[in-house]
Amino acid sequence: MVVEERAIRVLDGAIAAALAVVVLLGALIAPPSRNDLDLVGYLLTVAAALSLAVLRRMPVIVLAFIAACGLAYQLGGYPGVFLAFPLLIALFTAVDAGYRLVSVTISSVALLGGLGINLALIEGETVRDVVQRWGLLAGWLIAAKLLGEVSRHRRGHLRQVEQRAIDAERTREETALRRASEERLRIARELHDSLTHNISVIKVQAGVAVHLARKRGEEASPPLVAIQDASREAMRELRATLEVLRAAGEPYRNGLALLPELIDRARGAGLAASISVIGEPRTLPVDVDAAVYRIVQEALTNVSRHAGCRTATVRVEYCAGTVTIQVDDDGDAIPGPPPEPGVGLTGMRERVTDLGGRLEYGPRRTGGFSVRAELPIQRAAESLA
């Protein structure tokens, strides 16, 4: 911004200097008058032209200064009609800046004062010639004033158009946010009505069964305990999800810190699951942290449902700029092309793709199935910022 202002000032100075040369040449080739140009005449001409260098910052002051120089120029009887060119530019700029009344007043005083001086000191020409000459200057001043008005109104119109465009964009964004909020609330109501009751029933029934078994002095079966724990965790996650949907979409609060609990629940369901961490653990962006948890959760769910195995290993590896999650099992899958993705694998791919990562899955060469996701940390952090 400072560089642009400096460039504008240099450009204004150069234009003012060039205009000073033009005004001097015009005075030199003008018809003879009562007095030839002397030092005072040169100074008045150059000073009036050079003052245009600060016209943008002080339009009214520069206009008044040029008008005063012009009146002094006429009193000195120097050749040429006033300092017309600098006066026209100053009047246009002052009106364009919004100083309408004061600009018209100053230019009118300068015009009438110059005409009066020229008529009082008339020499070698008729009154008609003087009036015609100054009438022509009056026409140019009126034109400069009108052009200033047009420019000012055009710029105001453009500002209004830009403001309306900004307001319209803001309205569209607010409408989109409102619709998104309404949709989140609708989804939250649907989830609450459709899932909360059923999961609560499962949780209560499993708890009653465990309680009755213990009341009879029997040890509750591991699958029943696993159902009870899973239903309790499902209720916790569902409540957290509903809170997020109703609170304008805050990031889900699951992540690496909850992976040990996830592994313990898998073990409670009869799966020999283990976890290993490679590299220096670090704080992940919220979206990446949640994606890691969900990928591991879905992979272990698929192992329990489809793999027909008893062992699963989870590996989390921290690298420069990425975190990699790999879940392997020793199930029934045999080497071959990857299977058609179901809902779980499709959801994983969508999560990974949204974060700019890469997902690979398929049967292992030694048997079993493997899911591997590589997520960039830096890109996700930048998108959150």
70 Cβ partners below 8 Å, 6+ apart? 48, 82, 83, 87, 110, 114
Does 295 or 343 have the greater pLDDT score?
295
- CA 222, 227, 228, 233 dihedral sign is positive
Whether 192 has a pLDDT exceeding 80, the answer reads no
pLDDT confidence tier of residue 183, bands split at 50, 70 and 90: confident
Q: Tell me the residue type at 49.
A: A
Give tens-digit pLDDT for 215-253. Answer: 777 777 777 777 777 777 777 777 677 666 665 544 445
* Stretch (H or E) spanning 281: none
Q: Tell me the HSE value of 208 on the side-chain side, using a 13 A CA sphere.
A: 6
Q: How many helices (H) and strands (E) does the chain have?
A: 12, 5
Q: Length of the chain in residues, anyone?
A: 385
**Domains contained in the chain, CATH given:** 2-124 (no CATH), 251-384 (3.30.565.10)
Give tens-digit pLDDT for 280-322. Answer: 888 888 778 888 888 888 888 777 776 566 788 899 998 888 8
The pLDDT assigned to 246 comes to: 60
Q: What is the pTM of this model?
A: 0.46
Give tens-digit pLDDT for 85-128. Answer: 888 888 898 998 888 899 889 888 888 888 888 788 776 677 88
Give tens-digit pLDDT for 360-377. Answer: 988 888 778 889 999 988
Whether 383 has a pLDDT exceeding 60, the answer reads no
Nearest one of 379, 342, 328 to 358, comparing CA atoms: 379
Whether 168 has a pLDDT exceeding 70, the answer reads yes
Name the burial class of residue 190, with classes exposed (0-12), middle (13-18) and buried (19+) by CB atoms within 10 angstroms of its CB: exposed
Q: Please give the average per-residue pLDDT across 46-57, as a whole number.
A: 86
Which strands form 369-376's sheet, in the order they lie side by side? Answer: 272-278, 311-319, 322-329, 369-376, 358-363
The pLDDT assigned to 175 comes to: 77
Give tens-digit pLDDT for 74-89. Answer: 888 777 655 788 888 8
